[in-house]
Each structure stands twice: as structure tokens, then as C-alpha cells.
Amino acid sequence: MIALGYKKEPITRYFRTPARSDYFELDGEDVTRFREKPVDGDGLINRAFFILEPGVLEHMEADTTSWKRGPWNGWPPISSSQSIVTPRSGNEWIRSGISSCSRNSGPRARLPGKHGSKRMRILVTGHHGYIGSILVELLSAAGHEVVGMDSQLYDECTFGEDIPSGISSIHRDVRELSCSDLEGIDAIAHLAGVCNDPLGDLLPQTTFDINHTATVRLADLAKASGIHRFVFSSSCSVYGAAGQEWIDERSEVNPITPYAASKWNAECDLRRLAGSHFSPVFLRSATAYGFSPRIRFDLVLNNLTAHAFTSGKVLLKSDGMPWRPIVHIEDISRAFLAAIEAPIDVVHNEVFNVGITTENYRIREIAQIVEETVPGSCVEYAAGAGPDTRTYRVDCSKISHLLPNFKPQWTAHRGARELYEKYCQYGLLLEDFEGARYQRLAYLQSLIARGAIDGDLRWIVPISRAETSTAQSIRIG
């Protein structure tokens, strides 16, 4: 038997034969019982499906105690033939996918459940944001029709060139979406949210309202609207103070900030909504980096490169010892595309760490990469730089095994060069990237101070409720 869902520890699983709805339950080391059950995708654990060779079914019914679990030696390579269950009769289980297809989502019914869709109408929430502005381009280039949704909080924060995407967009707060906004949508890539720890620490309740409550509300609307695919932008920050050990999707979470806790709470409630007609997918992205018109300078590689470019100092505000996995925003976007296009049975209710396992670094190692990239720069430690309790090293093997179309292309060295070149191209001053224009927290505080938004990050001057093209975008404030 070859596992479709790779797991490191034996747990209860159900296996379906191709011609009948016969299920075998494995609990611990043995197959404990054989039973008849209607086909129900919601009841399957790990989304693992297998075909039995002739004779195995009869043997199973006759003697369930003879089926033993074989040795498990970690994550199998792609196309591995390693067996983790071996029947006493010597027959082997062979790999198979689901033979049936789920019902198509959206009113135009174009989503074959097994093979995904060659063209979908995808709603990207937060499409004017740091990752969203890149994801829209990638989805469009892949042939999908993209609809954006954004409250336009950061439209005045453009760094460099802001090239219009040309897609239709809904100018609205994610907390105010309705079923009518989802008409004709096949899949949702949900990026909109409060995006970092400092802002979450300042406005914890608003962070939970947007990242948790509004996310679950949107998923409820999506499910009621017949939208099967919901890809949620979570974060590896849910692992929190994980220490020095490697962690993967099965590891305990330990969120230590309001931002991380809001993402984890959203995951928990979305998972409860999963069913045969609604398939959430959870992408826990590593710490992002890379150039975007809505660049975030609070992220470690972006920030250190900006400091080196503007001051000649690669300024560390901690002791540099914490571990961080980092990933380029283009590769995060590739993960969204791969999850949206993947067979539903592969991604249904699954968590994926997004990144490359070799791209885990100590902060001081990232600083050294920047020092090597920016001419004349040197690493310095800020006064009072001390330890940071947020440290985690993340295994990203699962996404590479289960989503072979996810092909990340960036490394920290290449990303640092890209950032340096963009800073040279567009010009960057220390007072710009440390000031209210580009720092998310400072910019939102400036909007509040001038009465453009309230303390819940809602526009005081209502934004357009009409779906318009980006050529007709409305600027507030």
C-alpha cells in the first residue's frame, strides 16, 4: 500500500474499494473491523484511498487480525513504493485516487472535483495588499478569471510602480461582504486581514474581528453560495515559541501573539465547516519577503536589506539567534495556485507549511546574507538587542509531496539581490521606510489621526459598494 497522505505516525484510517462502499478501519497496528458504509467524503481521515488487488477483500473479511502495519521510516519520497501495510497472504495494496468526483461549485458548475479546473473565477480578498498584488498577476497568467476584494487601506503606500491589474474588484471591508458579492465565484483565496504582530498587539480585538470572525463569516457565506474551494492564508507564526526542534503540520501550535492566535482560531473554526461540499485548505506561510508595490518593510529580509541600503548598517534588534523559515511572496502565490488547482480530495481540510525546508535561517544568518549583498554594509546590533521568544524551524516536505505543481523558485540570496536592485531602481530613504508611509502600524495611526478611519479600521467615509474595474478605483483620504 502506498500512502496518498503522508503521515509519520499510525492513526485510524478508512480505505475504500473501487467498486463498493466497503471500508476497513485500521486502529493502531491492526485492522480492527470491516464494515459496509455509504460513500461519504466527510468521514474519511487523511483523504487516503486505495484499491485492493483480487483476493484481498475476501481475505480481509475472513481474518482481519492478520493484517499488520509494517515499518514506517519517515517521509517517503515521491512515487515511493514503500509498503506500510502488508497482508499475510503476500498481496500488495496499490495506490488509487477517488473514483468519484465532487459536485461542481459556483453557479456555472465548472469545477471537476478530481482534476481541478483549467479555468476558474477566483475571488482574491486583500488583492491590493503585499501578497495579493502578486497573486492576482499569477492567477491571471495561469488563465483564471480573477475578482479582487479590498478595503483599500494601503492604496497610498505604493512603492515603485503600481501597474493596474485590469481585474474587476469589490471595494469593501471583508467584514461587510454578502452572498451577492460571491455570485459566480468558483474559489476563494482569502488573504485579507490584519497582517503583523505590532498591529495585532495594538488592536487585539480588531485583529480577532478581522482575522478570525470575518474569516469564518466569509467561509459560511461561501459554503451557502456553493463555493467548494476556500484557501486560507494562515501563518507559521501559529507555532510560536517552538524551540530548536523541527516542526511540521502535525506539531503542536503555540501562538504567543494576538495575530498568531487569530489565525489559529480561524483555522479551528474553518475546519469544522469542512464537508462534502466545502473544502477549506490552510496555507501556513513562512515569513514572507520580496518586492511588491505594497511592500512591507517590517518583514525581516525586506527590513534588513532596507537598513543596509539606506544606512550601511544591517541592523539587528534581537540577538539574532531565533530561527525563521522565510519564503518569497511569488512562491506563496504559487502555493495558492497549486492548492486551488489541485484535486479536492488531496487538499480537503489539509494544512500545508508553505516554503522550502532548506530556507530556515537564524536571523543573524539572514543578516550575513544581506551584508554580502549590499555593498559597503556591515552587521550591527541595536542597543539593548536581546533574545526573541518567537523561534521555529519548519519542515515543508508535505506540500512538495502532495502538491507537485508547487515549484518554489526563490532563495534568500536571490531575494536579497532582488530587493537591493529594486531599492536602487526606485530610490529609498531611511525616513521613508521607517516613517508613516510604508510602516503599516504608523500609516494606520496616521489615518486614524486625520479622521479617515476609526479605531476598528473601518472607513469613516464609506467606500464604494459597487463592483467596479480597477480603472475606476476610488481613493479615500
Mean pLDDT of the chain: 77
Q: Are residues 281 and 416 in the same domain?
A: yes
More reliable by pLDDT, 438 or 272: 272
Which residues sit opposite 323 in a β-bridge? 362
Cα–Cα distance for residue pair 339/430, rounded to 1 Å = 38
> Is the per-residue pLDDT at 73 higher than 80?
no
Last residue of a domain, one of 45, 61, 95: 95
Of the listed ranges 363-372, 407-416, 433-442, the least confidently predicted one is: 433-442
83 and 212 assigned to the same domain? no
Is the confidence at residue 91, as pLDDT, over 80?
A: no
* Residue 361 resides in a domain: yes
**Mean pLDDT to the nearest integer, 115-122:** 76
Q: Answer yes or no: is pLDDT of 89 > 50.
A: no
CA–CA dist 209, 194 (Å, integer): 10
Residue 294 has pLDDT above 90, yes or no: yes
β-bridge mates for residue 393, sequence order? 246
Minimum mean pLDDT among 85-89, 189-193, 281-285: which range? 85-89
* Residue numbers of the domain that contains 24: 13-95
| CA separation for the pair 151, 177 (Å, rounded) | 11
Q: Please tell me the distance from the alpha carbon of residue 173 to that of residue 187, in angstroms, as a whole number.
A: 19
8 A C-beta contact, residue 434 and residue 193: no
Model confidence at 204: pLDDT above 80: yes
- The answer to whether residue 384 is domain-embedded is yes
204 CB burial (10 A radius; 0-12, 13-18, 19+): middle
358 shares its domain with 443: yes
**What is the model's pLDDT at position 244?**
81
My answer on whether 128 and 82 are in the same domain is no
Q: What are the backbone dihedrals phi and psi of residue 310, each rounded to the nearest 5 degrees, phi first?
A: -90, -25
- Of the listed ranges 125-129, 244-248, 431-435, the least confidently predicted one is 431-435
72, 133 Cβ separation under 8 angstroms: no
Which helix (H) or strand (E) is 125 found in, with range?
Answer: strand 121-125
Separation between Cα atoms, residue 191 and residue 139, nearest integer Å: 14
Contact 64, 85 (CB under 8 A): no
Helix (H) or strand (E) holding 421, with range, is: helix 412-426
Least confident of 30-39, 269-278, 323-332: 30-39
Does residue 110 fall inside a structural domain?
no
**Do 183 and 40 lie in a common domain?**
no
Q: Are residues 91 and 126 in the same domain?
A: no
- Size of the chain, expressed as the number of residues it contains: 477
Pull the grid cell for residue 280: 477549506
Q: What CATH number is attached to the domain comprising 423?
A: 3.40.50.720
Pairing relation of β-strands 313-318 and 229-235? unpaired
Predicted confidence at residue 388, as pLDDT, reads 80
Given pLDDT bands bounded at 50, 70 and 90, which one contains residue 436?
confident
Residue 463 lies in a domain: no
pLDDT for position 433: 85
Q: Which residues pair with 459 in a beta bridge?
A: 453
Instruction: Indicate if 423 and 348 belong to the same structural domain.
Output: yes
Is residue 258 exposed (0-12), middle (13-18) or buried (19+ Cβ within 10 Å)?
A: buried
Name the phi and psi angles at 115, rounded to 5. Answer: -105, 5
The pLDDT, as a whole number, for residue 61 is 39
Adjacent-strand bridge partners of 118: none
Q: How confident is the model at residue 472 (pLDDT cuts 50, 70, 90)?
A: very low
Q: Are residues 81 and 129 in the same domain?
A: no
Give per-residue pLDDT as tens, 314-340.
Answer: 999 889 999 999 999 999 999 999 999
164-168, 271-275, 368-372: which has the minimum mean pLDDT? 164-168
Percent of the chain at pLDDT exceeding 90: 59
Convert the pLDDT of each residue in 349-394 to its tens digit.
Answer: 999 999 999 999 999 999 999 999 999 999 999 888 878 878 889 9
d(CA 290, CA 270): 29
Same domain? 76 vs 223: no
In a domain, 116, yes or no: no
Check pLDDT > 50 for residue 192. Answer: yes
Q: Rounded to an integer, what distance in angstroms lies between the CA atom of residue 41 and that of residue 412? A: 40
Contact 1, 50 (CB under 8 A): yes
pLDDT of the residue at 245:
87
189 and 255 fall within a common domain? yes
The pLDDT value recorded for residue 32 is 40
pLDDT value of position 166 = 86
Q: What is the pLDDT of residue 242?
A: 78
pLDDT at 116: 53
- For the entire predicted model, the pTM comes to 0.74
Of 95, 130, 156, the residue that ends a domain is 95
Using 50, 70 and 90 to split pLDDT, how confident is the model at 462? low
pLDDT at 328: 98
With residues binned 3-state (H G I as helix, E B as strand, rest as coil), the percentages for the chain, rounded to 5, are: 35, 20, 45
Reply yes or no on whether the pLDDT at 79 is more than 60.
no
Q: Are residues 400 and 336 in the same domain?
A: yes
**How far apart are alpha carbons 416 and 426 in whole angstroms?**
16
Q: What is the pLDDT of residue 144?
A: 97
Is the residue at 362 inside a domain? yes
Condensed to tens digits (0 to 9), the pLDDT of residues 42-52 reads 333 333 333 33
Look at the block and give the residue holding cell 514503500: 82
The 10s digit of each residue's pLDDT in 417-434 is 999 999 999 999 998 888
Mapped to the 3 state alphabet, what secondary structure does 166-221 carry? CCEEEECCHHHCCHHHHCCCCEEEECCCCCCHHHHHHCHHHHHHHHHHHHHHHHHH
The answer to whether position 374 is within a domain reads yes
31 pLDDT tier (thresholds 50, 70, 90) = very low
Whether 456 maps to a domain, the answer reads: no
Q: Are residues 158 and 77 in the same domain?
A: no
User: How much is the pLDDT for 434?
Assistant: 87
Count of structural domains within the chain: 2
Sign of the Cα pseudo-torsion (458, 460, 466, 470, in order)? negative
**67 contacts 30 by C-beta, under 8 angstroms:** yes
Confidence at residue 258, expressed as pLDDT on a 0 to 100 scale: 92
> Is the sign of the CA dihedral 245, 249, 253, 255 positive or negative?
positive
Report which of 83, 67, 24 is spatially closest to residue 49, judged by C-alpha positions: 24
Cα dihedral 294, 298, 302, 304 sign = positive
What does the block give as the cell for 321?
A: 539567534
